[in-house]
Structure 1
Amino acid sequence: MAPPPAQPPRLTHFQDGLPRMVDVTDKAATTRTATAEAWVRLPPEARAALQAGTNPKGDPLTVARLAGLAGSKRTADLILLCHPIPVTGADVQITLEDAGVRIEATVRTTAPTGVEMEALTAVSVAALNVYDMLKAASKALEISGVRLLSKTGGKSGDYRAQARENPAP
């Protein structure tokens, strides 16, 4: 006898075929953190401009860091069904490495929903600002490797991504 057909998954962000914001009113506010990363690959001319400090637009890494911090706070304006939450802490680190510019953001809150999207938005916005600041040196910059590295708190528990052999995808 064949097993009964599986029930289709319950869609949390759609009801009766229409998009909706999930109601988190009754969820307890808990402490949550999320860390994400992104990479910007640099062609030789962009790396040279960055290292020599000759980029015509100024310091891309400082601008990108500020943009990432601002992006973490504006996530609900950009991700349509994301709840606006209080970002109680954010840290964006940007380093120049052999593989390119590495961006890592950690975002914290005490809220009824997580901060994964805020951390992912922070690194994405920072990466876009690196591109914008260095595009005069080269149009061949490449953004890649945007991913969640870890999260803590919430109903789904903690998560940690597996390490990659090649740091810049």
Structure 2
Amino acid sequence: MAYQGLRAKDTSFNAELRTNFAPGLPLVDVVAGDMGRVLLNLFSNAFYAVHQREQLHEAGYHPMVSANTLQVGQQVEIRVGDNGLGMPASVQQKIFQPFFTTKPAGEGTGLGLSLSYDIIAQGHSGTLTVESQEGQGATFCIGLPTSKPAERQLA
């Protein structure tokens, strides 16, 4: 949906989506609609970032967004990354604050990442972090606690 939404605005836009999903991950308890909203927001932002970088017409640039899952300790991680413009440290410190946006006026409300953070942290007892280097892209990492075996049997 995120990719097609951007292509509806710019039919010339193309990007590669690379996935690497770890097999056999333990179950995590999520509210599907809420998790869908978070992932849609992260993918929308990632495609926006690579589209912005593509507009610079850098020689050899190929827009790429990635989605990866893995287990780290007692958490399952979902990582959504891009090779877009990236963010300076000053922006990374504010990125989850309500109404903060890096987009031009009229293109973003500054609520997507703030709401996503609340959904993950408060609604799912998880974490949402960002790793970015200016000019090299960004990766958002969702950490979700795995279900305990007794909870799995009840679900």
- TM superposition score normalised by structure 2: 0.32
Structure having the higher strand fraction is: 1
- TM superposition score normalised by structure 1: 0.30
Relative CO higher for 1 or 2, CA cutoff 8 Å, sep ≥ 6?
1
Structure having the higher helix fraction is: 2
Which protein is bigger by CA-based radius of gyration? 1
